[in-house]
Amino acid sequence: MKKPRKNSLDQLINNLAVEFSKIPNFDLTQTDEDGNRLFNFVVTKFSEIQDFRILYQRYFIPSTNKAIVDAKKEIRSSFYKNLLNVTESQLKENHFDTIRLGYVGLFHKNENFTKDLLKEANLVFNNGKTGKDSIEKFFEKEYNFKFNNWHSNVWVHKINWISNCVKHYDGYPKKEPKYKYLEHLPENEKIRIEHNEFYKDIEYVANTYYQFKLSQVFSLAVFKMSKDEMNEDIMPEELKEKYAELEQKIKQIMI
C-alpha cells in the first residue's frame, strides 16, 4: 500500500513550531495579533521560497532546455544549415541566462526575508520601535553586528556576488572583491552555473539559511528585550554572572 504523501505545509509548520517553542510565551504566536501575524508571515515566506524552487526545477529550466532542443531541430532542418555556424555553447546561453537571473531573484528573496523578519520581530519583541531603537541598530551599536552582512556566510556571499555581477556587469565576473570559489572564472566570459548547483543554492537558502536567520533574529530579539527590562546597576552579582554567560552565548550566534 502506497504511503500517503506528507503535506509539505504541515512539515513546514512543524519545523517552525520547534523554533517558536524556544521563545518565551509561545502561545502569543497563536493568540496575540502581532504574534499571529509574525507566525503567518514566516509561513508565507517559507512557502514562497519553496515555490521559487519549484518554478525553476519544474518549469523555467525544463522549458529553456526544451527551447534549446527545438532550436537544434530547426537548424538541422533548415535549408540554410550549411551556412549556419551556431555552436552548442551559443545555444545554451539562454539556459545559463535563466540561471543567472535566478540568482538575482534568489538573493532578493533572501534579502527581503531578513529585512521583513526584523520588521516583524521589532513589532512583537521591541514594542514596534524602529530607527535607532530597533533590534538591528541595538546590535550594530553595542556589538558591531549587522544582520545583513552577507559576506559573513560563504553560501549567501556567493549568491550575492553572482547577483551583483548580473545586475551591474551583464553577468560577467568582474565584481570586486572576487568571490573566492569562483576566482577561476575568466572575466571575458559570462558566469555559467549548472542548474544542479543552482538548485543546491536554493535548497540552502530555503532549508538552512532561513531557519538559521529565523532562530538568530528571535534569539537576539529576546536577548534585547531582556536587557531592556534589566537594571544592571542594581543587579545581584550572581545574576550578573549568569547574564554575562548568556551574553557570551548570544555572541556565538552573531555570525
Position 90 scores a pLDDT of 83
- Span 228-244, average pLDDT: 63
Rounded to an integer, the average pLDDT of 207-216 is: 88
- Compute the average pLDDT of residues 177-182: 82
Angle formed by the axes of helices 61-77 and 93-125, nearest 10°: 170
Chain CA centroid to CA 241, Å:
36
Which of 9, 12, 41, 47 has the alpha carbon at shortest distance from 217?
Answer: 41
pLDDT at 19 over 60: yes
- Determine contact, residues 179/161, Cβ cutoff 8 Å: yes
Planar angle of CA 188, 191, 196, nearest 5 degrees: 155
Residues 5, 142: Cα–Cα separation, whole Å: 48
Give the per-residue pLDDT at 223.
84
Name the amino acid, one letter, at 88.
E
Q: What percent of the chain has pLDDT over 90?
A: 42
Whole-number Å distance between alpha carbons of 187 and 200: 24
SS3 54: helix
